[in-house]
Amino acid sequence: MKTFIEKLRTTKIAVKILSGKGIPYHSRYIATVKVNLLANLKKVIPERKPRSRKWLSTSVLCNQWSTSSAQFSSAEYFTNNILRPVLFEETSLFVPNSAICIDIAPYRQLQELIGQSWQTMGTNISLNLCDPKDNLKSILQGLGKLYNVGLQLDLAKLYPSVKYPVSRGTPMISPLVRWEHSYDWYIANFKLHEKLIFGKRMVAIAIVDEDFRYIEGHVIDGRNLFPAAGYLCLIWETFGMMMGQLYTEISIVMENVKFNRATIVPKVGKVEMMVMIQKGSGKFEVVEGGATIVTGKIRIAMNLSKEMILNHSYKRNFDKETEELEGKDIYKEFKLRGYQYKGLFRSIRSASVSREKGHIEWKGNWVAYIDNIFQMKIFNLDTRDLFVPTGIQKLVIDTNAHQQYLQNVSSTKKYIPVQFFKNVDMIAAVGVEIHKLRISEIAKKRPISDPVIEEYKFTAYRDKKETSLREILTLSVHITLENIPMIKMKTIELVTDEDNISTEKLVSPMILDILKNSPLVEADVNILVSRNKLKDIPKHITVLEPNMVKTGDTTPFAIGYGLLKNGEKDSLKKLLRFTKNAAFLLSREKKNTQLDLSILQKFQLRIVLEKCTFEESWILLKKINKIPEQTMIKEPGGNIFRAVLIQDLQAPKFSLKLPLFSKQLETDLVTNVLRPGNIWGSYRHQLLPSREPKLTYHAIINQVTRGDLSTIRWIEGVLVDVGLWELTATGELIMQTIIKSRT
């Protein structure tokens, strides 16, 4: 037997040994059991039943299918089936090609036979018990395959019958059915565009539209502008629809393109554009809101070798320069100029220091790809002004070269080289050449708030120098924030019934304005005053009665009136109760008034700052906080050291034993700077004084901000030597130089 099997296999005949338990089925060797087998089968199948027309017999010859013995399912039929050979090949000729074959058997013998010999069959599904560990899974998988090929199964037969109505609390089956989303499957998307009979098309652009959602990443100076490359692709797409082809498969040339104005894409709503292309001439227009915004000419690129001028000599010389700038460096520079690109419009991955060479990542979007090529021209400009494209002399797109390059790139991320040739004013990337791209400067949007212009200068702590009230309050607030870091600063200004203070004399409005100039600090400005004492208090300032303040509600900065005056201690006691440990108290005293300094020792206070205005003296006090020996305390966010900077060459060497240093450190301030004359202070940011007009001999008129007529100012001109030309008697021109000397 083994020799015979090997002989068959050498002739490439599929052979498989079956486990028949020693019984030679479908052969004459079991003819002796015919009588007993028939008798037993009649007990199982007592009545015969007609077979379906779909039942093709493999034990009866096809010319005998019309006989009575072959038309019924009976004990005689199955006895004959076991004794006769299997006529599989003859019967398979009657199976239609679109038939569904279901194999029900304990073994997978028929599957291999069908796979090798019955290849014309439409569908082959096995319900065999191929998995001995989980037979139920094999059956259910087979039923699922039957459903997928279109058979409607009555799956209710698999479950016990349900008697309605069901009992309360029976769970629903629908929440148990979920879609499988663990894998992403990509399918081909073939968009069929209707062929345009006339070269006119309306396009509605909206951010909510999935096709235009990427445009929200094209933000310039805070405005979401429709990209210039977007107009070109709309024209290109319309041109392809006129030809009845997919536009990304058409190589084209655009010439004399002009961008007349930009279009802002709203966050809500849509923008409608009309794209018109003249047949024959190829001249196009893009109209929005009744105005022409883009014009030019488009045609098919018949001979790309003549249309494109890029040759290998350029590339050979250009590849020598390395690309050291990364994408984050490039778009940081763009952001400083006013371009807030996001998403697909941040695809430049590297560039050279000369900004004439780089790589752009291809993300499957032609608008973003061409716009990133435009960015290389803008990035090459050594300026911080804002520029946008306004015209193109010639644009060539070679779709075949572009697709071929992408197919040759094996990596997942596809980077395309881009080069800017300054001597011929051309930008070239794979499949795209842009000749003489014109860009023009546009006016930047004015900021909502004016910038805070300050100077950094030394300020003495206790020189009692007369200065402006705003500078005194700024120093006090900044010292508080430096010594008590916080995100939300709460201030209290206490006005008692005895204080002769009007609403105009309150300093809380000015403190609120100072805190607004600190963007990282949230202001919580409060005034403690009796009801109806003050009126018309500005907004954003909370007015409370003294008895409404909770004991645990403490503040780091408080303002009071006459806190160091003899006999006036109630106000000080209230503020000490409302302030936290190491807090600052700003006392507003009348000028040339005797102060009771014994209060400092009694209430554990130290004088930090002493300044004055024309009418009042201002003294900043600090609650004493014990300083650790290592001069370091714990603060939110980390440890803060006490710093001493000595800027006096004549000062003694630093030592805590010297009163010059020890008394200053008792104030527990973070920053302490010693200047000549034993003057302690620190460096602070102060507002620059406003510029005042002055007389000049020469001035010009100019705009401070380009495009903003409200910024027209007289600006002092530069005085130069003036030459006067005179005509002499001999007809010669001579120049007399007059040197101006004005005092």
Spatial CA neighbour of 418 closest among 431, 428, 405, 403: 428
**686 vs 549: CA distance, rounded Å:** 33
Domains of the chain: 1-131+138-154 (3.40.366.10), 200-441 (3.10.129.110), 454-631+639-686 (3.40.50)
Residue 68, pLDDT score:
76
Residues in the chain: 743
376: tokens are 């290389």
Residue 139, pLDDT score:
83
**492 vs 507: CA distance, rounded Å:** 10
Q: Are 8 and 15 in contact (CB under 8 A)?
A: yes
Which long-range contacts link 51-59 to residues 24+ away (Cβ below 8 Å)?
Answer: 56/91, 56/94, 56/95, 57/81, 57/91, 58/86, 58/87, 58/88, 58/91, 59/84, 59/85, 59/86, 59/87
537: tokens are 């208090």
Which class for 197: exposed (0-12), middle (13-18), buried (19 or more C-beta within 10 A)? exposed
Taking the complete model, does pTM exceed 0.85, yes or no? no
**645 vs 643: CA distance, rounded Å:** 7
Q: Are 242 and 250 in contact (CB under 8 A)?
A: no
| Residues 131-145: b if buried by 16+ CB within 10 A, e if exposed | eeeeeeebeebbbeb
Residue 334, pLDDT score:
93
Residue 686 vs residues 18, 60, 458, 472, 511: alpha-carbon distances, Å: 99, 110, 10, 10, 14
Judge if the upstream peptide bond of residue 165 is cis by omega within 30 degrees of 0.
Answer: yes
Around Cβ 239, how many Cβ atoms within 10 Å?
A: 23
Q: Are 33 and 41 in contact (CB under 8 A)?
A: no
**202 vs 110: CA distance, rounded Å:** 61
The single-letter code of the amino acid at 259 is F
**687 vs 474: CA distance, rounded Å:** 9
Residues with a catalytic annotation lie at: 218, 371
For helices 366-380 and 327-337, what crossing angle results, to 10°?
A: 70
Q: What is the DSSP letter of 276?
A: E
Q: What is the DSSP letter of 142?
A: H
Q: Are 625 and 651 in contact (CB under 8 A)?
A: no
Spatial CA neighbour of 293 closest among 267, 270, 271, 268: 271
The single-letter code of the amino acid at 287 is V
Q: Are 240 and 246 in contact (CB under 8 A)?
A: yes
Q: Residue holding tokens 């090609």?
A: 97
For helices 366-380 and 228-243, what crossing angle results, to 10°?
A: 140
Spatial CA neighbour of 139 closest among 158, 122, 111, 161: 158
List strands edge to edge, sheet with 348-351.
Answer: 200-205, 271-277, 283-288, 291-300, 252-259, 386-397, 432-442, 426-429, 414-421, 357-362, 348-351, 325-326
Reduced to 3 states, what is the DSSP secondary structure of residue 198? coil
Residue 369 vs residues 266, 293, 345, 638: alpha-carbon distances, Å: 23, 22, 8, 47
CA dihedral defined by 136, 142, 143, 146, rounded to 10 degrees?
180
Around Cβ 440, how many Cβ atoms within 10 Å?
A: 11
Around Cβ 565, how many Cβ atoms within 10 Å?
A: 18
Residue 415 vs residues 90, 292, 364, 406, 444: alpha-carbon distances, Å: 61, 36, 12, 9, 33
54: tokens are 């779909």
Reduced to 3 states, what is the DSSP secondary structure of residue 366? helix
- Three-state SS string over 541-574 comes to CEEECHHHCCCCCCEEEEEEECCCCCCCCHHHHH
**397 vs 301: CA distance, rounded Å:** 8
Residue 190 vs residues 245, 580, 726: alpha-carbon distances, Å: 12, 70, 81
158: tokens are 């698999």
| Nearby residues of 317 by Cβ (< 8 Å), 6 or more positions away | none
E strand map for 206-353: 219-220, 223-224, 252-259, 271-277, 283-288, 291-300, 325-326, 348-351
Ranges in the chain, pLDDT < 50: 311-314, 316-317, 627-635, 637-639, 722, 724-743
